[in-house]
Chain A
Amino acid sequence: MPFHIPEDLYYTKDHEWAQVDENIVTVGITEFAQDQLGEIVYVDLPEEGQKVTQNQSFGVVESVKAVSDLFAPVSGTVIEVNSALLEDPSSLNDDPNNDGWLVRIEMDSEKELANLMRSPEYKKLINDK
């Protein structure tokens, strides 16, 4: 299936993407993740000001069938939440790379970016599945 995997994003092995703008990181799930989950019907996100830790759960998305944890791509403080998703997660299904973004994190250390994948490596990960 042709998933759009933008080259300017970072990726986690848990299928989140991270867009880095200086020390602000916007986080979402990849099109591959959305496809695997099926239609997402519920989202649980942290509050603004909450601390998150790289590779630790910061929320969940749920399809009809299953609950999936969301893992933070970097450590830091949540500065903005896409609260529209709480009422209506449809943009997470329709456009997970853009309108379906989840949170913005002020990152503690850009060194953690070294633990993330770039698009060629992420493409290989999902193609091997």
Chain B
Amino acid sequence: MTNTVNKTPLFNEHVALNARMVEFAGWQMPIQYVGLKEEHKACREHIGLFDVSHMGEIRFKGPKAVESLQWLATNDVSKIESGQAQYSLLPNKQGGLVDDIFIYCLEKNADYLVCVNAANKDKDFAWMTANNKGADITDESNYWGQIAVQGPKALALCDALFSELKPSQWARNEIKKTTFQGFSALVATTGYTGESGCEIFIEAAGTTQLWQALMQHPLKPVPVGLGARDTLRTEMKYSLYGHEIDDTTNPYEAALGWAIKPQTKDFINKAQIVAVKDQGLKRKLIGFKMIDRGIPRQGYEIKNSAGSRIGITTSGTHSPTLDEPIGIAYVETAHSAEGSEIFVDIRGKLVKAVVVKTPFIQK
């Protein structure tokens, strides 16, 4: 680990676009280009382009790849075939999570690419290596650049650039190997916005060519910074490591039970994680909207009408799509049903809110 700030292969593109750059997870990243709301809207209504080259990529190869991933991750990786992808979780040994990940099956039983959060990449790699069951594990993060193309017209743009693949015809969570202008690439129908679209892994040296080809296409996609990436995922109530999940959170409380398969396989710390659920969840992750004025933010306490603490806000923002404040919080199970009235402690004031159905927007 060094203290230097990393630059993605697209750093010069962002500067040329006059993006506002910030340090995020050790990387210089664009927080916004023209404005968060416009970028958010472009992704919901047209096409957003995201530089996600900061994400980590860790490769699992060899005859023990599946056995190792089954032990490290909660979902059942034996269920995905070559060319399919799966969301999963890395449990730690204290009942919490090391990270949440996407596993891409490039060749069944032999070759898997694991996409991990940028901030956790070194921690994940060390954890995977320490708990390996014989896979050949390589950190390929420097090898890959990554661009997400998301929005209602995103697949049309991906079809235009990858006409031999036609990703618009695939199911969600599929992946195929290809090349782009001679560079190795992987095109996947995954994403973190709630829109259809692709995430494209490409050799770092080819990332700029791919970005420029996307930008110059007549469909005119709009570059989107980390600011709108966060509001887009919050509207979908997608978990973000460091907010909804961290090294202390139980994944059932985080409503991620669909990515945990204790009946079909063993994994690290399975007994403790499942016990929390079997004993009845004490708290749940819910979405809420404000009844009275105020914007919820991460860390704001949730209280009952008597002012007693019943939970904590994990994410909150003003939803650009709905033009109203939305929040995600852990609350005691008794207060977690839709329609429950809760109060958010905003700078010492109790502001009324209500538990609502999520995702906040219907896709």
Contact = CB atoms under 8 A, between A and B. Distances in A.
Partners in one complex: yes
B293 A64 contact: no
A65 B36 contact: yes
A88 to B, nearest CB: 11
B297 A64 contact: no
Interface in B264-297: 293-295, 297
Contacts of A67: 295, 297
A41 interface: yes
A63 B295 CA distance: 10
Given A38-B32, A42-B295, A64 B37 contact: yes
A39 interface: yes
A53 B9 CA distance: 48
B306 to A, nearest CB: 24
Contacts of A42: 293-295, 318, 325
Nearest to B324: A41
A65 B293 CA distance: 17
Contacts of B294: 42, 44
Q: Is the interface of A mostly helix, strand, loop or mixed?
A: strand
A11 B317 CA distance: 30
A65 B295 contact: no
Contacts, number: 37
A65 B37 contact: no
B227 interface: yes
Nearest to A66: B297
Given A41-B295, A67-B295, A60 B347 contact: yes
Contacts of B320: 64
B293 A86 contact: yes
Interface in A12-39: 38-39
A99 interface: no
A64 B318 contact: yes
B35 A65 contact: no
Interface in A49-106: 60, 62-65, 67, 86
B227 to A, nearest CB: 5
A62 B317 CA distance: 9
Instruction: Kindly name the residue among A60, A63, A65, A67 whose own CB sees the greatest number of chain B CB atoms within 10 A.
Output: A65
A39 B295 contact: no
Instruction: Kindly name the residue among A41, A60, A64 whose own CB sees the greatest number of chain B CB atoms within 10 A.
Output: A64
Interface string B312-326: 000001101000010
B231 interface: yes
Contacts of A86: 293
Contact of A41 (B31, B32, B318, B347): B318
A17 B231 CA distance: 31
Nearest to B40: A64
Contact of B36 (A38, A60, A62): A38
Given A38-B35, A42-B294, A62 B347 contact: no
Interface of B: 31-32, 35-37, 227, 230-231, 293-295, 297, 317-318, 320, 325, 347
Listed from nearest, the 5 A-B pairs whose CB atoms lie closest are: A41-B318, A64-B318, A42-B295, A65-B227, A62-B295
Interface of A: 38-39, 41-42, 44, 60, 62-65, 67, 86
29 contacts: A38-B32, A38-B35, A38-B37, A38-B227, A39-B36, A39-B37, A41-B295, A42-B294, A42-B295, A42-B318, A44-B347, A60-B347, A62-B295, A62-B318, A63-B36, A63-B318, A64-B36, A64-B37, A64-B227, A64-B231, A64-B317, A64-B318, A64-B320, A65-B36, A65-B227, A65-B230, A67-B295, A67-B297, A86-B293
Given A42-B294, A42-B318, 16 more contacts: A38-B32, A39-B35, A39-B37, A41-B295, A41-B318, A42-B293, A44-B294, A60-B347, A63-B36, A64-B36, A64-B318, A65-B227, A65-B230, A65-B317, A67-B295, A86-B293
